[in-house]
Amino acid sequence: MDPVVTTAPPPSLEVTGLAYAYPDGHQALFGVDLSIARGERVALLGPNGAGKTTLVLHLNGILTAGAGSVTVAGLPVGKRHMAEIRRKVGIVFQDPDDQLFMPTVREDVAFGPAAAGVRGPELEARVLKALGQVGMAAYVDRPPHHLSFGQRRRVAVATVLAMEPEILVLDEPSSNLDPASRRELADILRSLDVTVLMVTHDLPYALELCPRALILSEGVIAADGPTAELLSDADLMSSHRLELPFGFDPKSVREKS
Ligand SMILES: Nc1ncnc2c1ncn2[C@@H]1O[C@H](COP(=O)(O)OP(=O)(O)OP(=O)(O)O)[C@@H](O)[C@H]1O
Ligand SMILES: [Mg+2]
């Protein structure tokens, strides 16, 4: 049981002064500061090579900060709390095949919770709930490699949901999805009661799903504000190599909550 909380919960994610250079000396992050409150859905935008994936890899300790800090629900990301951090931060990678490696969908979705000690009927219930959330419960006994790309993406989301994460981080979730699957994934993400950080080049998708957006450019946060405002700022957009689809008017879309 959680202790009785009398103050506001800590932010789901707090990044302070995060800088990182790859071992070959290439510096990708130059002091990133951001804070995401519990329950927010935030888009992380930025051109190719801006450092988005590098930032994501710091959120659950796959990479560790050269300088600065990352905390998840008040817990510092670092060796001491790694198992708990991995449970709290659910990352859905761009390529579902990086995430699915077991003979059946059931085993893939059960893998994380089982490693965290969940067993028996509780484990099966977690698996079926997570697959139900992404509309894939009927596929529980299928081998993941027999599924279509869009189906594998949904199962990858389920593997993360089964961990009941504090924050769901998605790297390019709409890429390679057909329009119906793209919309269905948006419906799924909106229905979840979880903090979401979504890396995307799909600006209409960001606008539809995320009330707030961050622009990461050359390894720093260059803008942070309401998604519709950022996308409507033509100078800001062009100075960070961001382009809306032809004819798309960000003011014509109202995000649904
Ligand atoms: N393993 C690595 N070693 C050295 N440099 C790297 C490595 N991975 C990425 N980089 C460099 O770090 C910078 C940031 O890369 P990153 O993959 O984080 O960008 P991104 O914003 O995710 O881009 P994209 O939109 O193309 O996915 C780039 O200049 C890239 O070349
Ligand atoms: Mg990337």
What is the value of pTM for the model shown?
0.92
Give the integer Cα–Cα distance in Å for 55 and 47.
Answer: 14
Instruction: Return the pLDDT at 4.
Output: 62
Instruction: Return the pLDDT at 65.
Output: 77
**Nearest ligand, measured from the Cα of 28:** 1
Which of the four pLDDT bands, split at 50, 70 and 90, describes residue 193? Answer: confident
pLDDT higher than 90, residue 74: yes
Instruction: Return the pLDDT at 1.
Output: 53
Atom 16 of ligand 1, residue of closest alpha carbon: 51
Choose one of 32, 48, 169 to mutate for the ligand 1 pocket test, by most ligand atoms within 8 angstroms of C-beta: 48
DSSP labels for 151-168?
A: HHHHHHHHHHHTT--SEE
- Which CATH number applies to 13-101+169-243? 3.40.50.300
Tens digits of residue pLDDT in 113-150:
999 999 999 999 999 999 998 889 999 999 999 999 99
Radius of gyration of the chain (CA): 18
**Nearest ligand, measured from the Cα of 21:** 1
Atom 25 of ligand 1, residue of closest alpha carbon: 48
Residue 167's Cβ-side half-sphere holds a number of Cα atoms within 13 Å equal to 28
In this prediction, residues 71-76 reach a mean pLDDT of 95
In the reported structure, the alpha carbon of residue 30 is separated from the centroid of ligand 2 by a whole-number distance in angstroms of 16
In this prediction, residues 21-39 reach a mean pLDDT of 96
Instruction: Return the pLDDT at 6.
Output: 62
What atom in ligand 1 is closest to the CA of residue 54? 18
Which of the four pLDDT bands, split at 50, 70 and 90, describes residue 238? Answer: very high
Which of the four pLDDT bands, split at 50, 70 and 90, describes residue 221? Answer: very high
pLDDT higher than 90, residue 252: no
Atom 9 of ligand 1, residue of closest alpha carbon: 54
Instruction: Return the pLDDT at 7.
Output: 75
Which of the four pLDDT bands, split at 50, 70 and 90, describes residue 253? Answer: confident
3-state secondary structure of 93: coil
In the reported structure, the alpha carbon of residue 197 is separated from the centroid of ligand 1 by a whole-number distance in angstroms of 18
Averaged pLDDT of the chain: 93
Which of the four pLDDT bands, split at 50, 70 and 90, describes residue 235? Answer: very high
| 1 contacts: CB under 8 Å, gap ≥ 6 | none
In the reported structure, the alpha carbon of residue 53 is separated from the centroid of ligand 2 by a whole-number distance in angstroms of 4
3-state secondary structure of 66: coil
Percent above pLDDT 70 for the chain: 96
